Amino acid sequence: MINFVKSSETPFLADWFAISLRWLVIFGLVISMSMSSSLGLYQIAGLGFSVVWNAFNSTLAIFNRRLPAHRIVNLAADTIATIALFILAGGYNSPIIWVGALSIMSGAVYYELRGTLAMAFITSALQIGYAYLFSNSAITLQLVGTTIGLNLVIATVSAALSYPLLNRLRQSYMSIQRQRRESEQRVQQIERTRMKALFSMVEAFSATLNYQTVLQSTLDISTNALGVANGQSDVLLRGFLLFTGENLRLSASRGFPSRDQNLELPAEEGVLRDVLQSGEKKLLLNPGTDPELGKFVGMEGTAAALCLPLVRGLSAFGVLILAHPQPDFFTEERSETLEMISHQAVIAIQNARLFQDLSAEKERIVQSQEEAQKKLARDLHDGPTQSVSAIAMRLSIARKIMERSPMEAVDELVKIEDLARRTTQEIRHMLFTLRPLVLENEGLVAALNTMADKMKDLYGQKVIIDADAGLVQALDMTHQTVIFQLSEESVNNARKHAEAAEVWVRLKYVPNEPGMAVLEIADNGKGFNVQEVLGSYDRRGSLGMVNLRERTDLINGVLKVDSVPGRGTRIRAFIPLTDDAIDRLHRAR
């Protein structure tokens, strides 16, 4: 298929200029012919050809298209229209003797001086030729000179006007194109900077799972991604405000003075609260006036601060904050780049924290195993070992009594027999707590009741079990095992330390909380100061309550300990049984 038009991504300035001049000449011809009352049907037809042709060219120009040999075709069409109008209007007797401007101006636009001179002579030749061959007018030297002179004047004026105007248009257009290219180059540079920052971030985050390394790398990458010069990087504040407990604190920073490092913010007002609640970045002007950010000494002299939330799912880690003395420093492009970096940083921070938590969990497991071994050693030393030693001592005494009086040794042997049975019970109880087979075979309720019976028989400790059988049926074996361990350890602690007459173990659903259960172990013992005991566990080298909390964490639960000296102790483990219950429990926590 033959393509009759050529397209371009940029406008053809010469075509637009020629079209504009053509419309101007056509308008002048219409006015001249109307004023002289020589505008008849034939003249209108001639003008109509020019109008239609120029409208066609206008349509092509709108879509940045051209005909093959576009300039030659236009000059030919303008020349035909010029001679046709010259003839139809009456030749040299017509009021539009200057009609040659139609073709001469097109020549000036398309081929400048040489084009306008060539069209002036061609138009003059055609006009003189028509007059010589078909007109009754006498061809005189004056007529020839007038025709050529008029057309040369039109050519001179057209060349004088068209060249500077067209040159100015070209310069303006080239300036616009240059600005467009520079803008595209800036956009490409920004995009390259973003991609470079992204690749650097991926490389840095892939190379380490160290928490502090991730934070420091992110701060450096954010500076490079902004394209900040070395001199300007000193005035750019940037830092991670991360939660340590309930408050935000600078965990890694650049540019903040040392006195800001220990400042803690609750994020309960101002831009920090808004960013964490909405999960969207905020640009704050005059950050020194913010009720919380204004507490940072480093914010003095800054005019704008960009706050980016570090939020992933239901986990809020904190805020990435950057501040600069220039109010217009954080452009839309820079803000988008920093937002992209913050999103990647959140993932890296979460992975680093998970790795950190995993390492800590490994250490806790090792400590728990060591504590279990120590506890077993203590229990063996305080219980069966002492009993076995007592049996050996009593046997020695019985042997001596038998040598003296065999009948008197019977009472001592009875006591030794009772001590041996008691030692056997203690060993069996220890084996029961280490691996309660009744839990595996008969379930949690049977295991709790067995534990209560052994505590009564062995230590005289009264333990009352109240468990919802329907709830127990809904628990998997992991939950049942953890609940038994929590119960056994809490009851044993109450026996050893509380001097309680009674201990209650209750397992119920939490009222008005679907999918939530609670294990409660309460006693009427002497109680204790919870804060004092929890605060001294590290110094004592015992896991104690920490062990209970870790067991509760295994089933996504939350442990609460309430105790007052002289009023007993109540330990509650809230146990979520569904995903929704887990979300509700930890969100409330």
Q: What is the pLDDT of residues 391-421, one digit of tens each?
A: 777 777 777 777 777 776 777 777 777 777 7
Reported as type and span, the H/E element at residue 575 is strand 569-576
Give domain status of residue 430, yes or no: no
Q: Which of 455, 449, 464 shows the shortest CA–CA distance to 429?
A: 455
In the predicted structure, residue 7 carries a pLDDT above the cut 80: no
Whether 66 is covered by a domain: the verdict is yes
Cα–Cα nearest to 452, from 424, 476, 432, 481: 432
Per-residue confidence (pLDDT) for residue 503, from 0 to 100? 92
Instruction: Tell me which of 42-46, 315-319, 324-328, 534-538 is least confident.
Output: 534-538
Greatest CA separation for the chain: 178
Beta carbons of 352 and 211 less than 8 angstroms apart: yes
Taking residues 111-131, report their average pLDDT. Answer: 85
pLDDT at 540: 46
**Is there a contact between 101 and 150 (Cβ–Cβ < 8 Å)?**
no
One domain for residues 32 and 162: yes
Same domain as 174, residue 212: no
Percentage of the chain beyond pLDDT 90 is 10
The CB density around residue 120, as the number of other CB atoms within 10 Å, is 28
Whether 324 contacts 237, CB under 8 Å: yes
pLDDT digits (tens, 9 = 90+) for 55-96: 998 888 888 888 888 888 988 998 898 888 888 877 777 788
Lowest mean pLDDT of 267-281, 283-297, 440-454, name the range: 440-454
Residue 238: beta bridge partners? 254, 322
Separation CA 192–CA 205 (nearest Å):
20
Last residue of a domain, one of 330, 362, 394: 362
CA 581 to chain centre: 27
pLDDT, position 1: 36
Average pLDDT (366-387) is 65
Asked if residue 28 is part of any domain, the answer here is yes
Domain that holds residue 100: 6-179
In a domain, 377, yes or no: no
- Three-class SS of residue 386? helix
Indicate whether 428 pLDDT > 60: yes
Give the closest residue to 277 by CA, choosing from 249, 307, 304: 307
Nearest one of 214, 210, 237 to 297, comparing CA atoms: 237
H/E element, 311: strand 304-312
The domain total for the chain is 3
Task: Tell which of 141, 162, 179 closes a domain.
Answer: 179
Mean pLDDT of 556-579: 88
For 172, the token pair is: 């303006």
Q: How far apart are CA 451 and CA 518, in angstroms?
A: 19
248 has which bridge partners?
243, 265
Residue 272 has pLDDT above 80, yes or no: yes
Same domain as 221, residue 175: no
Which of 334, 362, 390 is the last residue in one of the domains?
A: 362
Q: Which two tokens stand for residue 419?
A: 């001590």
* Separation between Cα atoms, residue 352 and residue 315, nearest integer Å: 14
**Does residue 76 fall inside a structural domain?**
yes
* Residues 249 and 325 grouped into a single domain: yes
* Residue at 61 is within a domain: yes
| Residue 35 Cα distances to 31, 32, 94, 97, 98, angstroms | 6, 5, 12, 14, 15
